[in-house]
Structure 1
């Protein structure tokens, strides 16, 4: 199974805490900012810990009951100091966040770009298996998880531990050691309880995420296939399936909420018991005159001050636990090795003529299901070779292998004598232009979809491609012309219009090698002839591999290969193959008789 299934983690999976150490590279880019933020963090905690001390002296001074105007000067100064300390704690925390913001945001940017680039490096097989909705959710949660880990590991757990140590030191120095013992015991019980219960409830969190992915994937899949849903009147069926997923998500969220309530209630109980015990000790000592009223107030302030972040620590631990799972999924995706990679120091492909050779090529998408079984043929430079046959024969697989979406299992493919596995993928794909059977467009303007063939092309070049693809008349009927948006996956255009855009795009790319994968499959007979004329014009000086179901579209090919069950069963020109009265002749006769052609390509 690929690494990115929605359920690739069992419910009892424990995240790898070493992931936090893996975030260090994201901190080193702005090392100065991290150091300044750490200084602000320590300063804020010093101010926070000093605040109850100022409060103690205010209460003690007032408790002494000293009268007179001068008697008000000292408490007034203490009150000002108390206010400044509180303000300083908040100020330095905000300064810390402001300084560190660039670090966290840059980390999210870096990892998002890294994932984006990595996804484009993975082979076609990965993308055929993926579920777009769930993948998008996991990427979003993973990048947000990195930001969360960077912020809260440094600015919540570390400060809370620092404050605990400072408060424990003050209480140990100024009061009975029993206070420190009680606080240590309470913190230990609180932490152990929080960890144990969080471990228990993590399965509910993960289940909720899995059901969220499932429902989101279902929704995205249904909306992407909007027309199919409408064709079969299945809106109610889709809604019912989506609601089933939402029901599972609802139940998982409910279990998550109930487990969270259990955790919060237990934490509140521990804090309540601790407050009762420590405040009871302080009341007894204050009543016996062992500590002052100011001391009592300071102890109470420290307890409140400690348990507020400690309570938040429970929340942060839960969120860090989940963030680790999300980041682990993201890192697992980043660790997914591409199956099609360039060799070290691979040279660029040097195309002199564009002579293509398939030499005893065998290929299987998965073991035990061989698609190509020893295919051998050549396409001389500047020639056009067509491949025909029934669906599932392996025709489109030839194009995928030539474009190196996959590597051959055995044998080799060469261009001008160079094994395509020995050259860079970028140079290989720069040399090949593809007009696919199913043209999918970006949700952008016509202009940008056509210019995608050569980003940075001039307007004149784009318009030249438009005219050669016979798109000009259509564009001129649009109020916004080339600035017309084509919609999601190009749904606002007809099949023929999308096909013309694909042809314009490849004309603009101007490659030495062309692959036409049933390039006129969505066109009527009049449009088809216009496009065939345009394709013949651009293919006249290029090496062309044409994959076809409709035999009439490739009758002019220099050579026609007939495939069946992964092998070439016939080869020759249109006339010679008809004369042989074999498989090709039967296909031709059937298509002429039916006035149709074999269904969509699946091979």
Structure 2
């Protein structure tokens, strides 16, 4: 895990080396100051030597300035290194997620991924900065202060060693207890983000059903759960301060007791005892800082494990060696295809699918909710991979194609219509970033979107809010269809993508497809028979199996389920247009 994360230090290695190096130099300078202060007391004040006091005082002041300058420089390098480290991890996480297949994405919740990008990376950034500074400073300070104390009086320095051992054991016990608690607490951030995301995205429904108080209670429960978990850990960590103070005061009392006796017998000077007190403070404060860093690292360790979990996730769908970069036509063939979302052959979502679709053919798909209509079409551009069998596009197995080549030739309008913040033009150009104005308008006209776009004051430069919340559901669907058409694909898939448009507009879209896109293979999923009855053939799916295949007229005669759906949708009037 550590090796994986440290690989993202990247171009900030120099800063990561300079920060601890400067800290080490700062410690060396700082540790000499009490030694010079002892000289001021013993050889200056006690001997009333003003010249020595001024000389040593000036030298001490200069050393303090140097120490401060080294500390500032170290802080700057540490901040730059930690911020850059966090940036590289975010970048790596984002790139990794872009490589994920739908199966990979299904393993991680949206809220969990957001928590990793925010809270978890912030924890790691803070820990990395503390490691570069405090984690280096504290041990250096303890070691050099102990050496200086031993130089002054070896026996008295044993007090420091005993204190370090006592506190070290106590800290190890505390850290071993709080790590699982903090690990559990970090995961609870996912729950808070999930509640927040759900509430914001569904705020209109919350308002419509007057459920604000219910959502407040849910969110309060999530935050209280996190608070209680983290408090359990903090109640244990809080023992660090009293342990530290107990050790510090014990050291001070022991030094005062034994130091006073040594002064009386003239084995220790007043200045040397003062220096020992200073080194005591340095050692124990360094130990406290070291302990707090360890506690922070314990918290960050849980965050690091969650981040590395994503970075180590193997993409389930990737290119083969020497893939094909040319897809010749939009012919599709399923051969004995079985598919399971869970990769479990005993729980199949699609079973023994066999069908051949000619280039330019229009195929309608209908079936009950949960009959795996979406799964059927998502296998074509390899958003998921099949469990067994073979899918051919253009006469070649889909696994033989370069993924970008395959997906560029298969334009898919998903069930959930997603628009991004930006102008209408920018959203449409997702289909083709180099599309001309004429191509954009033509695609919009085919999708029956140009008419309402022209009514906006800024037309194609109208700003779309995140998720397309400032346009209607039907308008979102038509914009998504236009975006797909701009790809100029060989295969066009509409996954229930006209459900929010009226029947007149739906008919106009189908007519445009028929006359303007004769060579594009079109697959249309719909719950309305009126949207697919003009298709060359219609597939009826039920529990992942094809139970009917034929034209509208053939299925009315030969398939009782299709006939039942048709009659139920035609009660009170005909849907023929």
Partner residue, 1:600: none
> Which of 321, 338, 348 is the matching residue for 2:298?
321
Matched, 1:265 2:242: yes
Compute the RMSD of aligned alpha carbons.
2.4
Aligned mate of 1:421, from 380, 399, 407: 399
Moved more, 505-514 or 267-276: 267-276
Contact 1:63 1:293 in 2 (8 A): no
The yes-or-no answer on 1:357 pairing with 2:333 is yes
1:555-594 maps to which residues of 2 (within 5 A)? Answer: 555-580=533-558, 582-593=560-571
Aligned to 1:14: none
- Residue 116 of structure 2 corresponds to 138
1:64 aligns with 2:46: yes
TM-superposed deviation, 1:498: 0.4
Deviations 1:383-435 (A, max 9, x none): 22222222222221111111212111111101112111222222211111012
Q: How does 1:522-601 map to 2 (within 5 A)?
A: 522-580=500-558, 582-593=560-571
Aligned residues of 1:26 and 1:103 also touching (Cα < 8 A): no
Structure 1 residues not aligned, in runs of 5+: 1-18, 598-603
1:95 matches 2:95: no
| Aligned counterparts of 2:57 and 2:295: Cα–Cα separation in 1 | 38
Aligned mates of 1:340, 1:106 — CA distance in 2: 30
**Residues 128 and 28 of structure 1: is their aligned pair in 2 closer, same or farther, counting only changes over 3 Å?**
closer
Answering whether residue 353 of structure 2 is matched by residue 375 of structure 1, we say yes
Match of 1:274 in 2: 251
- Please state how far the C-alpha of 1:317 moved relative to its aligned partner: 0.8
Q: In the aligned structure 2, how far is the partner of 1:488 from the partner of 1:182?
A: 63
Residue 37 of structure 1 corresponds to: 19
Matches within 5 A, 1:275-294: 275-294=252-271
Asked if 1:248 is matched to 2:225, the reply is: yes
Distance in 2 (CA, whole Å) between partners of 1:423 and 1:143 is 36
SS of alignment partner, residue 151 of structure 1 = helix
Looking at structure 2, the residues matched to 22 and 191 of structure 1 have their Cα atoms a distance apart, in angstroms, of: 28
In structure 2, what is the equivalent of residue 189 of structure 1? 166
What CA distance in whole angstroms lies between the structure 2 residues aligned with 1:421 and 1:279?
79
Is 1:118 the counterpart of 2:100? The answer is: no
Cα deviation for residue 320 of structure 1 reads: 0.9
Aligned-residue offset at 1:495: 0.8
How far apart are the structure 2 equivalents of 1:373 and 1:39? 64
Runs of 4+ in 1 over 4 A off after TM superposition: 594-597
Asked if 1 retains the 8 angstrom alpha-carbon contact of 2:448 and 2:509, the reply is yes
**CA 1:44–1:453: 2 relative to 1, 3 Å:** same
How far residue 261 of structure 1 moved from its aligned partner, in angstroms, is 2.3
What does residue 198 of structure 2 align with? 221
- Asked if 2 retains the 8 angstrom alpha-carbon contact of 1:386 and 1:557, the reply is yes
Judging changes above 3 Å, is the alpha-carbon distance between structure 1 residues 303 and 329 closer, same or farther for their aligned structure 2 residues?
A: same
Shift of residue 181 of structure 1? 1.5
Which residue does the alignment assign to 2:447?
469
Q: Give, in whole Å, the separation in 1 of the partners of 2:244 and 2:284.
A: 10
Instruction: Determine if contact 1:23/1:150 at 8 Å carries over to the other structure.
Output: no
State which drifts further: 324-333 or 435-444: 435-444
Distance in structure 2 (CA, Å) of the matches to 1:76 and 1:540: 96
TM-score, normalised via structure 2 length: 0.92
Q: Provide the residue aligned with 1:15 in structure 2.
A: none
> What is residue 212 of structure 2 aligned with on the other side?
235
Q: How much has 1:30 moved relative to structure 2?
A: 4.1
Aligned partners of 1:24 and 1:201: how far apart in 2? 24
Alpha-carbon contact 2:244-2:284 (below 8 Å) kept: no
* Contact residue 327 and residue 406 of structure 2 kept, 8 A: no
Provide the C-alpha distance between the structure 1 equivalents of 2:11 and 2:238, rounded to a whole number of angstroms.
Answer: 40
Counterparts of 1:308 and 1:291, CA distance in 2: 24
CA distance in 1 between partners of 2:403 and 2:309 (Å): 24
Are 1:520 and 1:532, in contact at CA under 8 Å, matched by a contact in 2?
no
Counterpart CA distance in 1 for 2:190 and 2:288 is: 30
SS, match of residue 470 in structure 1: coil
Contact 2:446/2:512 (8 A) holds in 1: yes
Q: Label 1:491 to 1:27 Cα distance change in 2 as closer, same or farther (>3 A).
A: closer
> TM-score, normalising length from structure 1?
0.89
Q: Which residue of 1 aligns with 2:411?
A: 433
How far is the alpha carbon of 1:557 from its aligned partner?
1.7
Task: Name 2:30's counterpart in structure 1.
Answer: 48
Q: Is the 8 A contact 1:561 1:571 kept in 2?
A: yes
Q: CA deviation at 1:107?
A: 1.8
Range moving further from structure 2, 524-533 or 226-235: 226-235
Shift of 1:252: 2.5
Measured in 2, the distance between the counterparts of 1:225 and 1:24 equals 39
Counterpart in 2 of 1:305? Answer: 282
Shift of 1:133: 2.3
Aligned residue among 377, 389, 393 for 1:411: 389
* Segment drifting more, 467-476 vs 496-505: 467-476
**Change in CA separation of 1:34 and 1:227 when aligned onto 2, cut-off 3 Å:** closer
Q: Which residue of 2 aligns with 1:84?
A: 62
Structure 1 residues 414 and 508: alpha-carbon distance in aligned structure 2, compared to 1, 3 A threshold: same
